Amino acid sequence: MSNSATAQSDSLQHAQQGHGADAHANPEGSEVFTTLLNSLGDHHELNIFFGHYKILPVMLVDDNGFHVYPNVDAMEQAGVYTMHHPEHAHHIVTTATGASPKLDLSITNFVAYEFIAILIATIVFGIARGRYIKNALQAPKGLQNVVESLVLYVRDEIVRPNVGTDKRAHRLMPYILGIFFFVLTLNLVGLMPGCHAATGALGVTAALALTTFIVVNFVAIKDAGIKSWLHHLLGGAPWYMFPIMVPIELISLFTKPFALMIRLFANMTAGHIVLMSLVGLIFFFKSWMVTPVSVAFSVFIYLLELLVAFLQAYIFAMLASVFVGLALGDHAKDDHHGDAHAH
């Protein structure tokens, strides 16, 4: 999902040529917006800085076993699968029946961006760590100062006030920091011209929400004990309210991570859709009078997206910490662990 006016023009041309689309299609009128919105999806090639590189491996599972191809072109040359089926554009299907493989484990465009974000975050923290070790007694400056300020903010303003104790905050910091910087890096990379935001994919946000769900309940069971965790499902009600309260609390357990998933996905996708729609007006009206207005509003939305990139990383980390505190209930301020409570 490109994030500049020139990126949208490039997306128009690429969408006509790749992934099974009709090479002779001429986006006119409302087709302009359809073409632009189609570029929001995932691809089996790396789309970065206006370049389209067919370098991502394709890994498929079907009745005949596990198949690995170095890229989409190699897959189609093998003759078993294609992405140019007239009824299944943009999807990998068999050439014989048009059926999809049982499982697609390919490294797609969004997955590649996740690896890029991990690499960037690792390099940034590596540089900050190296400078800290080298000048441990000096005041941090530059990149080291930025990283340290963000880490301290996450610890003192997000994690510690919500999880109850310093000991628990210290144990949770690696996960919360990882979530915060991973989401932030993905968001910022997605704002670079010609790049995509992986947080605009439900699969990515669902994985982040699932890990948060596991961490929240693991900490609650470990620190409060399984008995207290089960009692928490009553929501403080008497035991005879079990048939009513437990189903409600169980639904609540799953709605929290679901809300995390949808919130991040919707906020990151909405801005890009608005941005593409504004740029699409240029191609729709084909008038010089529309261009300056469209560009001006696009710049405003882009700056707003920059704010949202930081805000969504903050919200995700904050809600993860809040959910830990809620899951612990009365034990949030207690440093004892599960064994003590269970006995």
Q: How far is CA 167 from CA 9, 59, 172, 318, 331, in A?
A: 52, 43, 9, 18, 13
Mean pLDDT computed over 93-107:
91
**pLDDT band per the 50, 70, 90 thresholds, residue 242:** confident
Given this model, what pLDDT does residue 281 score? 86
Q: Is the pLDDT of residue 25 over 50?
A: no
- Mean pLDDT, all residues of the chain: 84
**Could you tell me if 154 and 180 are in contact, meaning their C-beta atoms sit under 8 angstroms apart?**
yes
DSSP β-ladder status, 58-62 and 51-53: unpaired
Please tell me which residue, 241 or 259, carries the higher pLDDT value.
259
Given this model, what pLDDT does residue 88 score? 67
Nearest alpha carbon to residue 1 among 20, 14, 18, 17: 14
Q: Is the pLDDT of residue 24 over 50?
A: no
pLDDT digits (tens, 9 = 90+) for 185-233: 999 999 998 888 999 999 999 999 999 999 999 999 988 888 888 777 7
Q: Out of 85-99, 201-215, 257-271, which region has the weakest mean confidence (pLDDT)?
A: 85-99
Given this model, what pLDDT does residue 43 score? 87
**pLDDT band per the 50, 70, 90 thresholds, residue 335:** low
pTM of the model: 0.84
Please tell me which residue, 203 or 89, carries the higher pLDDT value.
203
In whole angstroms, what is the distance from residue 51 CA to residue 64 CA? 34
Q: Is the pLDDT of residue 2 over 70?
A: no
CB neighbours of 274 closer than 8 A, spacing ≥ 6? 301
Give me the residue label for tokens 């999806």: 41
In whole angstroms, what is the distance from residue 15 CA to residue 97 CA? 25
Given this model, what pLDDT does residue 35 score? 67
Q: Is the pLDDT of residue 134 over 80?
A: yes
Q: Is the pLDDT of residue 337 over 80?
A: no
pLDDT digits (tens, 9 = 90+) for 275-300: 888 888 888 888 888 899 999 999 99
pLDDT digits (tens, 9 = 90+) for 33-63: 676 666 777 889 999 988 889 999 999 999 9
Sheet holding 103-104, edge to edge: 65-69, 58-62, 103-104
Mean pLDDT computed over 137-162:
93
SS3 content of the chain, % helix, strand, coil (to 5): 65, 5, 25
Please tell me which residue, 135 or 35, carries the higher pLDDT value.
135
> 131 is written with which tokens?
């400078």
Residue 219, amino acid: V
